[in-house]
């Protein structure tokens, strides 16, 4: 018993619960970008409030033609791997394309 107390420093730490992965919004943002790109909802989902408002203004000023930007971004979101999407849009906060 005395040896157990002295050798406790040499024991591996107890296993911990696995870290949960951060929430990945790739699919939601991609689908909303394709379907409702002109409204900028995909930007709001990712936390880009200013870019979402700009997207709405662009769509209104161009009579809806500017919604092609959201459509293209939705396709880009869905073609990236989960890790690429997370790093680019959720960690580095890249606002456009």
**What mean pLDDT, rounded, does the chain reach?**
83
CB distance 58 to 66 below 8 Å: yes
Domains in the chain: boundaries: 25-97
Rounded distance, CA 35 to CA 89, Å? 19
pLDDT, tens digit, 9 for 90 and up, residues 31-53 = 999 999 999 999 999 999 999 99
CA 5 → CA 9, 10, 11, 56, distances in Å?
8, 10, 11, 66
- Confidence check: pLDDT of 13 > 70: no
User: What percent of the chain has pLDDT above 70?
Assistant: 76
Quick one: average pLDDT of 9-22?
59
What is the chain's length?
97
pLDDT band at 2 (very low <50, low <70, confident <90, very high): low
Rounded distance, CA 43 to CA 34, Å? 12
User: What percent of the chain has pLDDT above 90?
Assistant: 53
């Amino acid at each position: 018993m005395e040896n157990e107390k002295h050798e406790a420093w040499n024991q591996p730490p107890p296993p911990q619960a696995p870290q949960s992965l951060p929430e990945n919004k790739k699919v939601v943002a991609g689908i909303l970008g394709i379907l409702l790109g002109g409204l900028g909802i995909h930007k709001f989902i990712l936390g880009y409030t200013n870019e979402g408002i700009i997207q709405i203004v662009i769509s209104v000023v161009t009579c809806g033609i500017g919604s092609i930007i959201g459509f293209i971004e939705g396709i880009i979101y869905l073609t990236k791997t989960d890790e690429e999407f997370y790093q680019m849009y959720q960690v580095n906060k890249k606002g456009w394309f």
